[in-house]
Amino acid sequence: MGRHPNFPTPGGPVLRAKGWRQEALLRLLENVLSVGEDPERLVVYAALGKAARNWDAHAKIVEVLTTMDEDQTLVVQSGKPIGLLKTHKDAPLVVMANCNIVGQWAKAEVFYELERKGLICWGGLTAGAWQYIGSQGVIQGTYEIFMRIAERHFGGTLAGRFVLTAGLGGMGGSQPLAGTMAGAAILCVEVDRARAEMRQRIGYLQHITEDLDEALGLIGQAKHAGQAVSVGLVGNAADIYPEIARRGVVPDVVTDQTAAHDLVYGYVPATMTLDEARSLRGADNARLMAESRNSIVAHVRAMLDFKRQGSVVFDNGNLIRTHARDGGVEDAFTIPVFTEAYLRPLFCEAVGPFRWMALSGEPGDIRRIDDLVLELFPDNRIVTNWVRLARKHVPFEGLPARIAWLGHGDRTKLALAANDLVARGELAGPLAFSRDHLDAASMAHPNIMTENMADGSDAVADWPLLDAMVLCSSMADLVAIHSGGGGYAGFMTSAGVTLVADGSEDAARRLGYALTNDTSLGIMRYADAGYETAREAAREKDVGWLGL
């Protein structure tokens, strides 16, 4: 189901485009809006991450996808379709570059000005590349972080543990469900009641309250009984975190997933209401940036307070430490980032957030692939555990989809087997495969993905650029290069890829080359940085690393 009446989820057997490859990309574009946060403004998630530059650009993209031939390539620049080139049927159907600003100019203020002039748009990681699948896209990542914390600090479970976090937006909305799946009593502070209600409606969040006492009461009872519960507290995290600390309540785990990266369109300062903040956006960005930064200082100071008192505290990839440090919190970076702290060993083997979508719109197709995953990888504990949990607990949003952290070789194996199912008519329609941009080869982000790399190569952005070129050479259907927008300007570059499994032999070739080469480069990136696990994987799996 879609969330917005004007933005229905696509599906069904009838093609509007000339082939399934083009139709697939059209449906994925429709899907990101159907599960997006504010589709009327083309905003999908991450404060200002957009599906297209503006509505004219959107209409032209739809027209081209509907009418283009398989031997053509659509070129998209920051959400605006620029040209349709004659290529060949093994070339990508769509190539795009979103929000890439030359080094010295890659600053939030320049981004806002370019966006205001209509010259650029922030594609998020998966919004502009039409790969977003709602909060379910990040839920396994969030769950795996919670489980790594459970294993490292709490004997393997978060039952009887209090997790404090904030932000119930597109990505942050996964936290209450991931938290309860890990057994925790999780409190999510959210300034916008409508966002909390949305998460409750789709089954991700259990309770909503505006009262801190009531929230802490619900959490305390569940913690005591060792029961999982999720509570959304409507309030500002920069007020609530310090207040909880002041009361001497110490959560077991603390993080935050407000859109803190964007001081104008994302984070809401504690000194104003949500409506006041909204009315200042575009009108007084300087004031919003200053006040958001001040609030983030209070917010992060409380996180540090909890850390000193024994909470496990981590940064969840939203630049909150960076803004706090800029605001004078010198020890902000004593809080570790989730990637380095919990996920890097997986990235060393190119295990990362792989995903597939049922273009038919039929949930049965995803259930069939769930079975396939369990058949193909019975010994992969992370994935089998996840698929069993997900099929029970994670409701579909928009096109039925699943995410699973699979690595080199396994992604290709699954996609080829799924393509065979499509060919044999065992699914209601083709599938699309993609992955998050936060993956081994495809992201340089020195404050999230590549913080504290073993060889100091944190800020080297060659890897995602190489990845995108490798993916084009490997015949992927859509290839995107993104850089940061809003507060992320100058902080990141990433590459995205989408592949369509329409059951054809051509699709099998594309899936085989693109998925294998993407993860090969991922292993090489970490092997090159000196990680022994990656070097072993490179040798064992013979990924083509030259080993220099």
Residues that bind ligand NAD (CB under 6 A): 37, 45-47, 138, 141, 166-172, 189-192, 195, 236-238, 257-261, 266-268, 316-318, 438
| 195 marked as part of a ligand binding site | yes
Indicate the residue whose CB is closest to ligand NAD. 169
Beta bridge partners of 433: 356, 499
Using alpha carbons, select from 343, 471, 443 the residue that is nearest to residue 124. Answer: 443
**449-483 in b/e burial notation, b at 16+ Cβ within 10 A?**
bbbebeeebeebbebbbbbbebbbebbbbbbbbbb
Q: Rounded to the nearest whole angstrom, what is the least distance from the CB of residue 386 to ligand NAD in the complex?
A: 16
Residue number, 141 or 398, with CB nearest to ligand NAD:
141
| 52 marked as part of a ligand binding site | no
Q: Rounded to the nearest whole angstrom, what is the least distance from the CB of residue 154 to ligand NAD in the complex?
A: 21
Residues 6+ apart with CB under 8 A from 137: 126, 131, 171, 174, 353, 355, 401, 403, 436
Q: Rounded to the nearest whole angstrom, what is the least distance from the CB of residue 545 to ligand NAD in the complex?
A: 27
8 Å CB contact between 164 and 362 = no
| 267 marked as part of a ligand binding site | yes
| 237 marked as part of a ligand binding site | yes
| 268 marked as part of a ligand binding site | yes
Q: Rounded to the nearest whole angstrom, what is the least distance from the CB of residue 178 to ligand NAD in the complex?
A: 11
Residue number, 60 or 293, with CB nearest to ligand NAD:
293
Q: Where in 130-204 does DSSP place strands (E)?
A: 162-166, 185-190
Residue number, 181 or 260, with CB nearest to ligand NAD:
260
Alpha carbon 293 to its chain centroid, in Å, reads 24
| Separation CA 35–CA 43 (nearest Å) | 10
| 171 marked as part of a ligand binding site | yes
Residue number, 95 or 259, with CB nearest to ligand NAD:
259
Residue number, 129 or 507, with CB nearest to ligand NAD:
129
Residue number, 101 or 259, with CB nearest to ligand NAD:
259
Residue number, 71 or 243, with CB nearest to ligand NAD:
243
Q: Rounded to the nearest whole angstrom, what is the least distance from the CB of residue 239 to ligand NAD in the complex?
A: 8
Residue 93 backbone dihedrals phi, psi, to 5 degrees: -75, -30
Q: Rounded to the nearest whole angstrom, what is the least distance from the CB of residue 485 to ligand NAD in the complex?
A: 10
| 172 marked as part of a ligand binding site | yes
CB atoms within 10 A of CB 277: 20
Count of residues for the chain?
Answer: 548
| 486 marked as part of a ligand binding site | yes
| 531 marked as part of a ligand binding site | no
Query: Residue 331 burial (CB < 10 Å; 0-12/13-18/19+)?
Result: middle
Q: Rounded to the nearest whole angstrom, what is the least distance from the CB of residue 22 to ligand NAD in the complex?
A: 28
How far is CA 484 from each of CA 119, 275, 290, 447, 450, rounded to the nearest angstrom? 15, 26, 20, 12, 15
CA max distance for the chain? 66
Known binding-site positions for NAD(+): 170-172, 190, 195, 236-237, 257-261, 267-268, 486
Known binding-site positions: 170-172, 190, 195, 236-237, 257-261, 267-268, 486
